[in-house]
Structure 1
Amino acid sequence: MPRLRSLIKALAATAVAGVLLTSPVLTTPASAGTAPRTDPTPAPAPGGAAATFGIQPATATARDKTRDSFTYQATPGAKKTDYVAVSNYSTSPLKLRIYATDAYNTADGGFTVLPLETKARDVGLWVSFAATTVTLPAKSSQILPFTLQVPANARPGDHVGGIMLSLTTQAADGKGGQIAVESRVGTRLQVRVPGALKPQLMVTHVRAIYHGSANPFGGGTVTVSYTVQNTGNVRMSATQSIHVSSLIGGSRPSLPIADVKELLPGDQEQVTATVKGVLPSFASTVRISVVPQPVPGDVDPVMAAMDENFSLTTIPWTMMLLVLMLGALGGVWVWQRQARKRRGATPKPGTPAAKKAAGKTAAAKTTAAKKTASAKTAAPKKTTVSAAAPSAGSSTGSSTGSSTGSGKAENP
């Protein structure tokens, strides 16, 4: 932390020196920025021909080929007169509007300026022209002076905008009505006010979603989104990378991510990246690394990288479904097999097992019949014995068969 503070002080050293002077100071260093993304689009001119026009920095007498934008270091209260060249490349005269406005970053990190109907609140209010419109004859150019007045209460840091040249024409819409169409082109305007410079980026709104694969043995895709915010007061750029680590498959990098080219103070950029081939292991780790960098041509603040680590649930739903299905099929097979054993189920007719079982059944029946016949043949004959009552005065015995009987009579 002490090292960062010393570097920030070194970053502001040159600008702070201007504060020690008795009057406000404004200097114009060599340009290091890029032109705003507001390239002119040919629009219908009053005579029906294509209208093409341009704007660029100038000196009091000619176009300035040494710079492509207006870049200043200025203390609060400083005042400067500068020049801009405007050109009409068309074959018809054009009436154009000239004005200054503020710049901002779009959601994807693009550089643009406020629409004409939106009022500027920052550096766009610091620039004034003698007139808001200029009429240019065909194939002609003019040099226009303007005044930059830095407010006495201007906050330290970078203030970025653009000086714009625009043409408004009328065009018919799909329903036959008339709509106003604005075509414009601009040159960049940047003012750095010295003081407590604070280079700082922050990663917020982090989110990750895992999309499983239909292949039970394949890897899924992780979609990671987050927001990079410039919470400092100087413009910054950054490189960034994303890795997803899991217990199975190791660490997987994301597809290439574009660098944060230039993030203006107070603005933010939304980032979305995809990591493929992530094997599900119930829990994975997502690592986001954002390394702050100076904008080309600026002083390097030497900030530490920002790392965000968080856990992501990566459940192998497809594999679990496959295991459940196999388990269910195995359970049904075991249940059916045990049920056949309990019922003594006979084999399917016509199969070798069925023929063998039929042969065993016939043999068993034959054996049972033979045993029954043998038992009937070996059974003994039954003998019936009967006895007749004896007559009076006699004692006689009779018998049939192989047995004999005897009787005895007694006289009284």
Structure 2
Amino acid sequence: MQPSVARWKTLLRTTALSVLVAIAAVGVGTGPAVAAEGNVAWTVRTASNGYGEARSSYSYNVNPGGAVEDAMVVANRGPAPLTLSVYAADGFTTDAGQLDLLTKDKKSVAIGAWVKAKTGSVVIQPGKTAQVPFTVSVPGNATPGDYVGGILTALTQADQTEGINVDRRLGIRIKLRVGGELKPNLAIENLHVRYAGSVNPFAKGDATITYKLHNVGNAALSGQQAVSVSGPFGLLRVRAGDIAAPPELLPGESWTVTVPVVHGVAPAISLAGTATLTPLLTDASGSTTPLKPVQATAHGWALPWTLVLVLLVLIAVLVAAYLYRRRTRTQRKAREDARVRDAVEQALRAQEPKTS
């Protein structure tokens, strides 16, 4: 019983952390991020300085070995003093397509290791704000490309009901592009096409396309997708409707795409499913540049099974008829040969001399 309770407590704690990070860490809004529960409330926002004002997140271009200094502003909106821990963490894309940040107990190797706040904790009085300076120091051997993470404030509170401590986190996204050769590249992998027809062998059916997008370059990329299905030699082509854009994938990340139904596909025996992806590269100013499209094709069967069954039955009938006629001819020939043989024997016996 105790292990089961422990697992539930761990699940609750993990769920709480995930929800908070999903809401707060992405920092996509134009206003300050807010964490509030009961009488505890605080906000975080970017500081106004030479990098800009009212920024929704931090974005830097830094060469290997370089460093930048910036700050985060934390405000206490509650009635009691707040003591918040401050730290940085690496980012990753969740299965839901949202940016999340590693928890403090997980090891960061990029943003979380390169960003250092001036203080590991900050005390803020009710109604007051505090500016927390931090430095981004890029190692001299850092690989060129894009890195995403965040700087966080965290409050640990005891959950009396569950008897555990819950970390509530609020932070702002940091996107860093390390100088050097940028090699943006998205690949389409594991493309499959499946066909589902109807009882009517001449009616059109539906196709399902699945594939995986893999960021094999060193730049964060999103993309525009298009899918089509065709018969042999590109005939009878049908294009899928609008496909939702994938999330921005960080270098090394993958995203599975399922185009559930492509309607009106003819049962053309052999199908070709083609996925076309136009990668989109976003620079520090927010401008998006489309790159050279990537395309992949896979083949599958589109057999009208009712017609196939009819053909199989027809072939079976023809084969049976052929075998029956062949056996009949063989039996008839055998009987004819027997009659000829008997007639010859009778003629030979009639010609034999009679003995007295």
- Give 1:11-410 correspondences, 5 Å limit: 35=27, 42-43=36-37, 49-59=38-48, 65-171=53-159, 177-246=162-231, 250-274=236-260, 275-295=262-282, 297=285, 303-321=291-309
Q: What's the CA shift for 1:216?
A: 4.2
For structure 1, the 5+ residue unaligned runs are 1-33, 44-48, 332-412
- SS of the equivalent of 2:176 reads strand
Q: What's the CA shift for 1:302?
A: 5.7
Q: What's the CA shift for 1:109?
A: 3.5
Distance 1:126 1:149 in 2: 5
Q: What's the CA shift for 1:245?
A: 1.1
Is the 1:102–1:160 Cα contact (8 Å) retained in structure 2?
yes
Distance 1:133 1:245 in 2: 60
Is the 1:105–1:268 Cα contact (8 Å) retained in structure 2?
no
Q: How many residues align?
A: 287
Q: What's the CA shift for 1:92?
A: 3.3
Distance 2:76 2:306 in 1: 65
Distance 2:238 2:80 in 1: 59
Distance 1:298 1:227 in 2: 26
Q: What's the CA shift for 1:273?
A: 0.9
- Deviation per CA, 1:373-395: give whole Å up to 9, x if none: xxxxxxxxxxxxxxxxxxxxxxx
Q: Which amino acid aligns with 1:185?
A: L
Kindly tell me: are residues 170 and 225 of structure 1, through their superposed partners in 2, closer, same or farther at Cα, counting changes over 3 Å? farther
State the TM-score, normalized to the length of structure 2. 0.71
Of residues 146-155 and 180-189 in structure 1, the stretch that sits farther from structure 2 once superposed is: 180-189
Matching residue of 1:22: none
Q: What's the CA shift for 1:103?
A: 1.2
- Deviation per CA, 1:132-157: give whole Å up to 9, x if none: 22232333321111122121211111
Q: Which amino acid aligns with 1:52?
A: A
For structure 2, the 5+ residue unaligned runs are 1-25, 319-356
Q: What's the CA shift for 1:162?
A: 0.8
Q: What's the CA shift for 1:291?
A: 0.9
Give the number of the structure whose residues are more often strand, by fraction: 2
Q: Which amino acid aligns with 1:118?
A: K
Is the 1:59–1:84 Cα contact (8 Å) retained in structure 2?
no
Is the 1:255–1:273 Cα contact (8 Å) retained in structure 2?
no
Q: Which amino acid aligns with 1:110?
A: Q
- Deviation per CA, 1:205-262: give whole Å up to 9, x if none: 2222223335544333222111111111111221111001136982222232112342
Of residues 300-309 and 263-272 in structure 1, the stretch that sits farther from structure 2 once superposed is: 300-309
Q: Which amino acid aligns with 1:256?
A: D
Kindly tell me: are residues 135 and 301 of structure 1, through their superposed partners in 2, closer, same or farther at Cα, counting changes over 3 Å? same
Kindly tell me: are residues 94 and 142 of structure 1, through their superposed partners in 2, closer, same or farther at Cα, counting changes over 3 Å? same
- SS of the equivalent of 1:125 reads helix
- Deviation per CA, 1:112-133: give whole Å up to 9, x if none: 2212321111121111123322
- Deviation per CA, 1:286-316: give whole Å up to 9, x if none: 1110111222645766632111122111111
User: Percent identity of the aligned residues?
Assistant: 30
State the TM-score, normalized to the length of structure 1. 0.62
Distance 2:310 2:96 in 1: 41
Kindly tell me: are residues 182 and 322 of structure 1, through their superposed partners in 2, closer, same or farther at Cα, counting changes over 3 Å? farther
- SS of the equivalent of 1:320 reads helix
Distance 1:196 1:105 in 2: 24
- Deviation per CA, 1:318-345: give whole Å up to 9, x if none: 44346778x69x99xxxxxxxxxxxxxx
Distance 1:268 1:218 in 2: 37
Is the 1:73–1:194 Cα contact (8 Å) retained in structure 2?
yes
Q: Which 4+ runs in 1 deviate beyond 4 A?
A: 36-41, 214-217, 298-302, 321-325
Computing the radius of gyration over CA atoms, which structure comes out larger, 1 or 2? 1
- SS of the equivalent of 2:248 reads strand
Kindly tell me: are residues 63 and 287 of structure 1, through their superposed partners in 2, closer, same or farther at Cα, counting changes over 3 Å? closer
